[in-house]
Amino acid sequence: MANAWKIARKSNAQLPLVIVIALAVVLVLLGKAQPALFDHARARITDMMAPALEVARAPVRGFDRFIGSITEIFSVYEQNLQLKEENARLRQWRNVATVLQTRVTRYQALLHAVPDPKLNAVLARVIGRASRPFLQTMVLDAGRQDKAMPGQAVVDARGMIGRIYLTGQRTSSVILLTDLNSRIPVTIASAAGKSGSIQAMMTGDNTAMPVLDIVSRQETLSSGDQVVSSGDGGLLPAGLPIGTVVDDGNGGWRVSLLADATSSLDVEILNFSQPPEALPSTAQLPAEAAGLKPVPPPPPSLTPAPVTSAAAPAPVPGTAKPVVTPKPAPPAASAPAEQDD
C-alpha cells in the first residue's frame, strides 16, 4: 500500500525525537503526581459534546436493544418461567422486609438511635458510555448546576453503579465499580445467617466482577454473601446494595454486581451529606441516668440547655426521662398532633 506514495526521505522535525520522548515521560510522571491534570479540559469537552450525545442516544439504544434481543429471543420461555418464580419469592421477601423495617423503626425510637444521614437524590440520564482498556466510565446529563459533586454515589434501581469523579457544568463522568481506579470499602453480610459482618475492600480490575480484599485474613466467606457499602471514611452512605460474593476459583473472592452499568438508562446521584453527630445530653449518659453523680452542665456553646421536645420518642419505663438536643421548634399547629401520637 505504501508503495503507491512518494516516500519523503528525511524529516524536517523542529523538535528532536529524544526531546519529545523525554517530554512524554515527564507528562507521565506529572500525571502520576497530579491525576486531575486534564480534568478541566475533559469536563469542558464532555459539556460541549452533551447535546450531540443526547441526540445520538436514542438510535444507539435501539441498536443495542436489537443486538441484545437477538440472543435473548431463543430463551424467552425459560426466562419467563424463571421470572415468575423469582417474582413469587420476592413477594415473600417484601413482606418479611416490611415487618423487619417496622421493627427496626421501633427499636430506633426506643434506643434514641442517631438517624441515618439524609440522602437527597438527583435523577440523571445516561448519555454516554466508554469502555476503554484502562477506564470504564459513563456520562450523565447532570452536572454542577444540578448540584452533582465528585465522590457522590450513583445507583440504579438494582444497586450501586459507581461514583462521580468529574463534573462539568451540565454533565458528570462516573467511574464504574469495575474500573481499575475504583476502590470501595464494603461490608459483607453472611447469607447463611451467621452473626456479624466482614469488612473488606472492593477493587475494580476492569473485569465484570471486582475483587474482594478482606481486611481480616481469619474471616471466611461463602458464595452468595451480600455485599453492601460500609460507609467507612464518610464518602459513601452505608448500606448501599452492591452485589453478592462469588468464588473466583483461585482461592479468591469476587463480587457479582447487582447493577448492570451497560444497560442502565436512568440513574440516581445520591447527595450524601453526613450531619455532624450531636453530643448526648447529660441525662442520657449512663452514669447520670443511673443516678451515680451529678455532672456539671456543659458549656452553652457545645450543648444548649436541654428542653423537652414534643417530637421526642416515648420514654422507656424504668429509665430517666428522655431529653434530646433542641431541634427547630415545630409549628404550633402540629405540636398537639405529635403529642397525641
Partner 1 sequence: MATLERSGAPAFNRFFAALVPLACGILGVVIANIPISFLGGAVPPPLLGLVPVYFWCLVRPDLMTPAAALAVGLSEDIMSGSPPGVWTLAFVLTYALVARQRDSFAGLSGVAAVVGFGTAACVACASAYFTIAALYWHFPPVAPILSELAMTVLFYVPTAYVVGIIHHRLVGASRGDI
> What does the binding site for partner 1 look like in residue numbers (CB under 8 A)?
1-17, 19-21, 23-32, 34-35, 37-38, 41-42, 45-46, 49, 53, 56-57, 60, 63-64, 67-68, 127-139, 173, 180, 205-207, 262-263
Asked whether the beta carbons of 202 and 179 are under 8 A apart, the reply is no
For the CB of residue 313, give the shortest distance to partner 1 in the complex, in Å: 49
Q: Which residue, 176 or 198, is less far from partner 1 as judged by CB?
A: 176
Dist CA 258 CA 223 (whole Å): 14
Q: Which residue, 26 or 337, is less far from partner 1 as judged by CB?
A: 26
Residue 142 identity (one-letter amino acid):
A
Q: Which residue, 180 or 235, is less far from partner 1 as judged by CB?
A: 180
For the CB of residue 204, give the shortest distance to partner 1 in the complex, in Å: 10
Q: Which residue, 37 or 81, is less far from partner 1 as judged by CB?
A: 37
Asked whether the beta carbons of 132 and 117 are under 8 A apart, the reply is no
Residue found under cell 448500606: 239
Q: Which residue, 112 or 129, is less far from partner 1 as judged by CB?
A: 129
Dist CA 131 CA 69 (whole Å): 21
- How far CA 121 is from CA of 152, 176, 231, 268, 296, in Å, comes to 10, 18, 17, 6, 42
For the CB of residue 219, give the shortest distance to partner 1 in the complex, in Å: 23
Cell of 121: 437524590
Distance from the Cα of residue 276 to its chain's centroid: 20
For the CB of residue 200, give the shortest distance to partner 1 in the complex, in Å: 18
For the CB of residue 68, give the shortest distance to partner 1 in the complex, in Å: 7
Q: Which residue, 138 or 184, is less far from partner 1 as judged by CB?
A: 138
Dist CA 105 CA 323 (whole Å): 19
For the CB of residue 19, give the shortest distance to partner 1 in the complex, in Å: 8
Q: What share of the chain is helix, strand, coil (3-state, %, to 5)?
A: 35, 25, 45
For the CB of residue 3, give the shortest distance to partner 1 in the complex, in Å: 5
Q: Which residue, 33 or 302, is less far from partner 1 as judged by CB?
A: 33
3-state secondary structure of 55: helix
